[in-house]
């Protein structure tokens, strides 16, 4: 999700929240060997300067203070998931996923509170190189939530 957010113009707060949920993502590289910082530096994101500054501060071991939230994490650390758990085909995508696709952000937040298991349900679809799997959070990052 952090790579998607950095590539697709997410706000500084979204990038910060994704970092807080999974700090190791900052060092991960995508299939083209790009880090989240590489992606945002090459983007035309209107928030680019603030996000670059944030990611560089984090890299210099001066991370931002964690956002205070009373919510429990909605998505498990992806390293603990194995494919086959909680997955559905694209034609049977969850209500949460459909609300995110429709940019119904308030409904999606409410849905997460009531049915948090949907946030960790993988959506599976066929791609050019086989099946693709993604979480509702991946789609939300692409759609630039408020």
14 and 48: one domain?
yes
Residue range 39-78, pLDDT digits in tens: 999 888 888 898 899 899 888 876 555 555 555 544 444 4
Residue range 25-37, pLDDT digits in tens: 888 988 889 999 9
Name the 3-class secondary structure at 69.
coil
Sign of CA pseudo-dihedral 7, 24, 131, 122: negative
Residue 95 lies in a domain: yes
**Single pTM value for the model:** 0.52
Residue 68 lies in a domain: no
Full residue range of the structural domain in which residue 47 is found:
2-59
Total domain count, the chain: 2
Expressed in percent and rounded to 5, the helix, strand and coil fractions of the chain are: 50, 10, 40
9 and 51: one domain?
yes
Residue 67 lies in a domain: no
94 and 47: one domain?
no
Token pair in block for residue 37? 């910082």
Residue 75 lies in a domain: no
């Amino acid at each position: 999700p952090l790579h998607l957010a950095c590539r697709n113009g997410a706000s500084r707060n979204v990038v910060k929240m994704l970092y807080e949920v999974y700090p190791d993502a900052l060092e991960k590289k995508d299939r083209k060997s790009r880090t989240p910082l590489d992606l945002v530096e090459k983007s035309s994101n209107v928030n680019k300067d603030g996000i670059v500054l944030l990611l560089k501060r984090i890299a210099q071991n001066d991370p931002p203070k964690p956002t205070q939230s009373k919510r429990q994490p909605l998505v498990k650390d992806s390293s603990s998931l194995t494919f086959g758990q909680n997955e559905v085909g694209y034609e049977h995508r969850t209500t949460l996923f459909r609300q995110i696709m429709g940019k119904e952000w308030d409904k999606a937040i409410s849905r997460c509170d009531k049915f948090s298991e949907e946030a960790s349900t993988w959506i599976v679809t066929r791609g050019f190189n086989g099946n693709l799997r993604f979480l509702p959070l991946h789609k939300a990052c692409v759609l630039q939530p408020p």
